[in-house]
Amino acid sequence: MRAAIVGIGIHPFGRTPGVSGLQQGAVAARRALADAGVRWQDVQFAYGGSYSAGNADALGNELGLTGIPFINVLNGCATGGSSLVAACQAIASGAADLGLVVGFDKHDRGAFNAHPAEYGLGDWYGEAGFMVTTQFFAMKLRRYMHDHGIHADSLVRIAEKAYANGALNPNAWRRTPIGFEEIQHSTMVNDPLTKYMFCSPAEGGVALVVCREDHAKRYARTPVYVGAAAMRTRCAGAFEVYGTSVSLDDAPNATALASRAAYEMAGLGPADVHVASIQDTESGAELMHMAENGFCEHGAQDDMLARGATRIDGRLPINTDGGCLANGEPIGASGLRQVHEIVLQLRGAAGARQVPRPIMTGYTHVYGAPGVSAVTILQK
Amino acid sequence: MGNVRSRAIDDALFDWPAPDPALKGSRCRRCGAHAFPAMASCRSCGGTEVEAVELPRRGTLWTWTVQRYMPKPPYRSLHTEATFEPFGVGYVELPGTLRIETRLLEHDPARLRIGAPVELAFYTQYVETDGTEVVNYAFRMA
């Protein structure tokens, strides 16, 4: 039994002074319920999470305390993706017919400052200045560019596309296009990545109403079916964030594992995907994740990006809503924002940023510390 | 050093002060996998028989970046936002053992090159209120 997504709701991303993260989650939840035409009292279970804005089950105080099983999920940047995986499994098991998946967050300005102990690391790791995720992505990218001959222009093109797409998205935070040269010459933050190649921690909320596939038409004219939802963690030997050391073996990372599992589950391959949302906390992440999710060979990104293949009008549009770069990253909500966007695209309801040709299959991918990844394959 | 007291940032990483300090890693007796810092069990195979090993003092630069903004706490340093200076961070490949994350005593992109030879070094990360210098490991271009 597959799950279907029959309701979606979003609270705009960015900065909303005076509105708590929890309240942004409640706004998203009410919108998703209204979209599906169901009452909160009809929902049989919920999974949700936030990193900095409190336990998701506190939403009961906003929506009504109905006694349902509400499970809090905390899985780094893959929190939203993990919540959806769990909800789909609850539907697949037959344990419940109708559920809510919700994520929200509200972070302070500036880079994340996680505590080493949360990751089993000593205080020294933070004191020495390693507890900085932007460093990891820059170092992974530096090696990747060296191994696969990637040109720095590709990093600029990805950021340029993100802000261009964000300008078409009323829920995005960054809604002004930024030109190639301005991105290229903005302040260097962690070489080779400049300021406009990074996303920022932000605020926002997203909710989804999910049900068993044979009930989907009761709630939605165009249900979106979850062909696969897979979550994986890191293996020994994979190069992942917050790794004090790594073996010389070069094992596949969490993204590659989750992606492979999702394709197998859906019985599809990368060539069957028509639109994708992949983790782009910085432009290098999107570049590497293009290949790790199977959308091109390692090293083929320069050519693909130079031809505009991942723009909204390209062969495989990626991050049509502007991704993390244009929306910021409220950790609990970010993975569900990707799903929200793919559902809109499959419904044909993405407005000015609608992919201009028929699409049947979408894909989402999140990645987070210390090496967790969740992938979904969504079908009309 | 005279009367200046100093200590390792974490005793698990290396001995300090010591005549010729090396980084303290571990090796699994069952599968041979190395780890740094030393682990009580093996993250590769889950084995619980691990032995302490000294890691090589020389290696090659596997990747690098430059940290150009001051990290938030728990970062501790000799600097304030006003005096912050960019620093190098990288992974160094130690032959036959593993790659470790490290500070680099070089932050000029023109001198940082993947594959370049590097060697173990030490520097003062911060000074405690009683004047004790807190020493961390790093690698420098050899």
How distant is the Cα of A108 from the closest Cα of chain B, in angstroms? 12
CA dihedral B127→B25→B138→A138, nearest 10 degrees, is: -110
Strand bridging mode A45-49 / A188-190: unpaired
pLDDT in tens, A158-204: 999 999 999 999 999 999 999 999 999 999 999 999 999 999 999 99
Average pLDDT over residues A74-78: 89
Q: Which residues contact B1 (CB under 8 A, 6 or more apart)?
A: B17
Digit-coded pLDDT (tens) for B24-47? 999 999 999 999 999 999 999 999
Quote the DSSP letter at residue A255. H
- Paired residues of B88 in beta bridges: B66, B104
- pLDDT tens-digit profile of B43-90? 999 999 999 999 999 999 999 999 999 999 999 999 999 999 999 999
pLDDT of residue A51: 93
The pLDDT of residue B2: 52
Q: DSSP letters along A88-107, please?
A: HHHHHHTS-SEEEEEEEEE-
Q: What are the φ/ψ torsions at residue A78 (nearest 5 degrees)?
A: -95, 15
A236 Cβ contact partners less than 8 Å away, ≥ 6 residues apart: A247, A249, A251, B33, B43, B44
CB of B74 within 8 Å of any CB in chain A? yes
Judged by CB atoms closer than 8 Å, whether chains meet at B101 and A245 is answered as yes
Judged by DSSP in three states, A4 sits in strand
- CB count in 10 Å sphere of residue A34: 13
> Rounded to the nearest 5 degrees, what angle is found at the Cα of A69, between the Cα atoms of A63 and A75?
90
| CB interface of B with A, residues 14-73, below 8 Å | 25, 33-37, 43-44, 62-69, 71-73
Decide if A281 contacts A373 (C-beta within 8 A): no
For residue A182, report the phi and psi dihedrals to the nearest 5 degrees. -65, -40
Q: Calculate the average pLDDT of chain A.
A: 96
Q: CA-based Rg of chain A, rounded to a whole angstrom?
A: 19
Please give the structure tokens belonging to residue A266.
């859906």
Type of residue found at A195: K
Strand partners, B89: B65, B103
pLDDT tens sequence across A292-345:
999 999 999 999 999 999 999 999 999 999 999 999 999 999 999 999 999 999
Average pLDDT over residues A144-161: 98
Residue of B nearest to A133 (CA): B71
What gap in Å lies between CA A237 and CA A239, rounded to an integer?
Answer: 7
Between B4 and B58, where is the model more confident?
A: B58
- 3-class SS at A29? helix
Chain A residues close to B97, C-beta within 8 Å:
248
What pLDDT does residue A240 have?
87
Compute, in degrees rounded to 10, the torsion defined by CA atoms A340, A346, A347, A350: 60
Which residues on chain A are in Cβ contact (under 8 Å) with B125?
127-128
- Which residue type is seen at B23? L
**Arithmetic mean of pLDDT, A232-236:** 92
Distance from CA of B58 to the nearest CA of A (A): 15
Token pair of A149, please?
Answer: 């001959």
* Chain B CA closest to residue A108: B72
Scan for tokens 């049947």, then name that residue.
A360
- Judge whether residue A20 has pLDDT over 60: yes
Residues A265, A276: Cα–Cα separation, whole Å: 17
Give the span between the Cα atoms of A240 and A325, in whole angstroms: 21
Of the residues B68, B70, B112, the best mutation for testing chain A's interface (the one with the most A CB atoms within 10 Å of its CB) is: B68
Which residues does A contribute to its contact with B (CB < 8 Å)?
110-111, 113, 115-116, 122-124, 126-132, 135, 138-140, 142-143, 146, 187-192, 236-237, 243-248
What is this structure's pTM?
A: 0.95
Residue B1, pLDDT above cutoff 50: no
Q: Are A336 and A43 in contact (CB under 8 A)?
A: no
Please tell me which residue, A133 or B8, carries the higher pLDDT value: B8
Nearest 5°: phi and psi at A241?
A: -65, 150
pLDDT > 90? residue A110: no
Residue A130 vs residues A118, A124, A199, A236, B88: alpha-carbon distances, Å = 14, 9, 19, 20, 11
| Cβ density class B13-52: b for 16+ within 10 Å, e for less | bbebeeeebebbbbbbeeeebbbbbbbeebbbeeeeebee
Quick check: A261 and A85 in contact, CB under 8 A? no
ipTM field: 0.96
- Count of A-B CB contacts under 8 Å: 116
